[in-house]
Amino acid sequence: PADADEERIKATVADELERVRQRSFGLTTAVLDEDELVAQHSQLMSPLVWDLAHVGNYEELWLLRAAAGIEPMRPEIDDLYDAFEHPRAERPSLPLLGPSEASDYIGLVRRKVLDSLDGLRLTPDRSLMDSGFVYRMVIQHEHQHDETMLATHQLRRGEPALPATDPLPAPHDGHVPAEVLVEAGEFVMGTSADPWAYDNERPAHQVDVPAFWIDTVPVSNGAYAEFVVDGGYDDPRWWSADGWEWRNRSGKRAPAFWIRDGEQWCRRRFGRVEPLPADEPVQHVCWYEADAYARWAGKRLPTEIEWEKAASWEPSTRTKRRFPWGDDAPTAGHANLGQLRHRPAPTGSFPGGSSPVGARQMLGDVWEWTSSDFTGHPGFCMFPYPEYSEVFFGAGYKVLRGGSWATDPVACRNTFRNWDYPIRRQIFAGFRCARDA
Ligand code: AVJ
Ligand code: FE
């Protein structure tokens, strides 16, 4: 039986490695010419050709050198693709591999990885390393860079490059209450057992949470526009001190990519301008804007503990779910994940993806800003390297939860944690509000 488990894990790893690589090429060499791949579309982002070679270099470091003990293929390029050596703004001036060199390099790494997989022992019950966590880490890492590449596409100017996607889900019918109540009580935060969980999601631990209300759905463009039209950006009452300073310094008076068109709002989306859909979750707001909106609405952002409890806790059985709807893998009726569409679905979609307390769209559509600073859970143990999470603890990052339409299902679950600076707007982030009960 152990051998059968091992074969099943290896087959999944091989399939997922193939699937994510198709996605990466679909965002780079399949859709953009050489000039566009090496260009820097925004100071905030890497040239796409950097992300492409970086995911292969990361795969070489972890799956060939660390897991399989294979000698470095091109040690001289490690420095170029070390995210801590060179900030994004500096990457275009490095002697990077060109698009075809990068494709060849990552393809060769991949062939060696698949060859080495045969001889590996991945017994599920031993340490995380032996149970194949590094393989899942590398797969998730590439998907995370693919989402970053989509943010680069959104910032890019010029003719649309991305292909058409699935239509939006059918409009929901029936009434969706504005808020749901989460009763006071203990719940289990984090996980110790999920084979895909990063170190920052571990370990599972009990947390006592006072009762609170949380919005059933993310804040929509229409609701956010009311804040804008009400002069929300001009009233310091709604803003934190740092947020007001950001507002003054940045000159921003609406979410990124919004365009005023007389009485109407439009938005630029992957190279096309369209009327702003009022019922779509707002995207491209920074933490300061989310925090100000919540105060204007008489509410606040949820803590990440509240967010996770509302998404995952089944009070009647006192059990925790991997996804809001249960432990089954996401399907089309549960959530808008995996880049099936290049946009969030209307608020109130996916009744089949509701959490036990009735919150909808907790996973997919938009990342949700929480009020929490990014730190380690109690009992945090760095694994397998400090630069994934630990070096970011206490360094001014805010936690985001739930994944976006651009997040792949294997990099999304109730315990998954993302983080960014409170000024960042290029990620596919929105929010929902909460309040004390
Ligand atoms: C978890 C999205 C904040 O992009 O900086 C990619 C993921 N870590 N390569 C990031 C990551 C290393 C990380 N975030
Ligand atoms: Fe990376």
Calculate mean pLDDT across residues 182-205: 97
Residue whose Cα lies nearest atom 8 of ligand 1: it is 388
Task: Output the average pLDDT for the chain.
Answer: 95
ipTM of this predicted structure: 0.99
Q: Which tens digit of pLDDT belongs to each residue from 355-414?
A: 999 999 999 999 999 999 999 999 999 999 999 999 999 999 999 999 999 999 999 999
Q: Atom 12, ligand 1: which residue's CA is nearest? A: 388
Confidence of residue 168 (pLDDT cuts 50, 70, 90): very high
Half-sphere exposure in the Cβ direction for 248 (13 Å, CA) = 9
User: What's residue 6's pLDDT?
Assistant: 85
Which one, of 16, 26, 7, lies nearest residue 140 by Cα? 16
Q: What pLDDT does residue 172 have?
A: 79
The rounded Å distance from CA 32 to ligand 2 centre is 21
Ordered strands of the 434-436 beta sheet: 179-182, 212-215, 434-436
213-230, pLDDT tens digit by residue?
Answer: 999 999 999 999 999 999
- Residue 392 CA: which ligand 1 atom is closest? 3
Does this model's pTM top 0.90? My answer is yes
Ligand nearest to the CA of 61: 2
Which amino acid appears at position 131 of this protein? S
63-67, 240-244, 271-275: least confident range: 63-67
pLDDT band at 80 (very low <50, low <70, confident <90, very high): very high
Site to probe by mutation for ligand 1, drawn from 52, 58, 144 as the one with most ligand atoms within 8 Å of Cβ, is: 144
Ligand 1 contact via 418 beta carbon (within 6 Å): yes
pLDDT number for residue 67 = 86
For the Cβ of 419 lying below 6 angstroms from any atom of ligand 1, the answer is: yes
Contact of 392 with 386, CB cutoff 8 Å: no
Tens digit of each residue's pLDDT (9 = 90 or more) over 133-162: 999 999 999 999 999 999 999 999 999 999
- Burial class for 155, CB neighbours closer than 10 Å (0-12, 13-18, 19+): middle
% of residues, the chain, pLDDT over 70: 98
Closest C-alpha to ligand 1, atom 3: 419
Report the first-to-last Cα separation within the chain, whole angstroms.
Answer: 50
pLDDT at 1: 55
Please state, in angstroms and rounded to a whole number, the distance separating the CA atoms of residues 372 and 118: 43
- What residues have CB less than 8 Å from 11, skipping those under 6 apart? none
Write the pLDDT tens digit of every residue in 109-140: 999 999 999 888 776 666 666 678 999 999 99
Average pLDDT over residues 16-20: 98
Residues 140, 195 contacting (CB under 8 angstroms):
no
Percent of the chain with pLDDT over 90: 90
What percentage of the chain's residues is helix, strand, coil (to nearest 5)?
35, 15, 50
- The per-residue pLDDT for 220 is 98
Phi then psi for 214, rounded to 5 degrees?
A: -135, 145
Task: State both tokens at 340.
Answer: 């099936």
